[in-house]
Amino acid sequence: MNTTNPVLELKNVNKSFGPIDVLHDISLKVHAGEVLCLLGDNGAGKSTLIKTLAGVHKPTSGQMLMDGEEVSFDCPKDAASRGISTVHQFGGTFPLMTIGRSFFVGVEPTKKFGPFTIFDRKTANETAVKAVKEFGITRIDDGDRLIGGLSGGERQSLAIARAVHFGARVLILDEPTAALGVKEATHVLRIVFEARKRGLAVIFITHQVMHAMTVGDHFAVLIRGALAADFRKGEKTREEITDLMAGGEAMADLEGEIESYMSAHEGHPPPPAH
């Protein structure tokens, strides 16, 4: 059991969209140098939870703490400024951009060219290639190469390397191995190990039990928006975890209700939940 103070902690977090209750009293801790695997079938509430952590949604009630200090995020930029970085399923990369440009999108290095300030392509390319090579991505050696020419695993790895380069302390990986072949998924799992070795707190969202068991130190299972189990590595078998995940009907139908509600109330705050 990790006795150090958690980097990120949730205490009795609830999230509702008007009358629709999605998350119910979620309490979790994630420590530096640890991989927390968040498991659950489609519609279990994983996406809503990570969007709440990343500042897309504000909790309806409950507390979020970083290093023991209560925090509140109004937008993803607020979460990012505190070191929470989310890498989504397809890596958040841009197929028609070069590796160097994509690595620095939004924070481009610049240099002077006469009276003008221009994008410093050389610095961007060299920095991006160095960052990904430090994570063992040896196939990427040219920052001018287009993102569209990379494999799915390489895109995920590039996005993770980018997050670490820009100071992530909590790395949220949303289904990073989904739709990848065995070789590519294995490479992404190696990157997760490297992030943990560097002292990051990693939240690894997946419904693939074997991938979770490969990298996880701490496991949490969501069913219908509630925490059904919270346990450490070695405390449950693969079969027990699979049974836990299948222990409740998915609430995927709520996603459509939420979308309908948000569309109908666009630009208007939802009424308080009861």
Cα gap 48→107, rounded to integer Å: 28
Instruction: Note the pLDDT of residue 268.
Output: 56
Cα gap 91→87, rounded to integer Å: 6
Instruction: Note the pLDDT of residue 94.
Output: 80
Instruction: Note the pLDDT of residue 134.
Output: 83
Contact indicator for 128, 101 with CB cutoff of 8 Å: no
Instruction: Note the pLDDT of residue 57.
Output: 94
Cα gap 272→274, rounded to integer Å: 7
Give kind and range of the element (H or E) at residue 270. Answer: none
Place of tokens 């989504």: 88
Contact indicator for 245, 205 with CB cutoff of 8 Å: no
Per-domain residue ranges of the chain: 8-93+150-264
Give kind and range of the element (H or E) at residue 139. Answer: none
List, edge to edge, every strand of the sheet that includes 201-206.
69-71, 61-66, 8-17, 20-30, 226-232, 218-223, 34-39, 201-206, 170-174, 84-87
Instruction: Note the pLDDT of residue 249.
Output: 42
φ, ψ (nearest 5 deg) of residue 174: -95, 100
Instruction: Note the pLDDT of residue 5.
Output: 85
* 170-174/116-119 β-pairing: unpaired
Cα gap 213→139, rounded to integer Å: 27
Residue type, 38: L
Instruction: Note the pLDDT of residue 91.
Output: 61
CATH fold of 8-93+150-264 reads Rossmann fold (3.40.50)
Give kind and range of the element (H or E) at residue 20. Answer: strand 20-30
pLDDT averaged over consecutive 10-residue blocks of the chain (274 residues)?
Answer: 81 94 94 95 88 94 95 93 87 81 91 92 94 82 90 84 91 88 86 91 92 94 92 92 70 53 60 46
For the chain, helix (H) and strand (E) counts, in that order, are 9, 12
Cα gap 38→172, rounded to integer Å: 10
φ, ψ (nearest 5 deg) of residue 236: -140, 150
Dump the DSSP string for 56-96: SS--SEEEEEETTEEE--SSHHHHHHTTEEEE-TTTT--TT
pTM of the model: 0.82
Residue type, 78: D
Cα gap 182→177, rounded to integer Å: 9
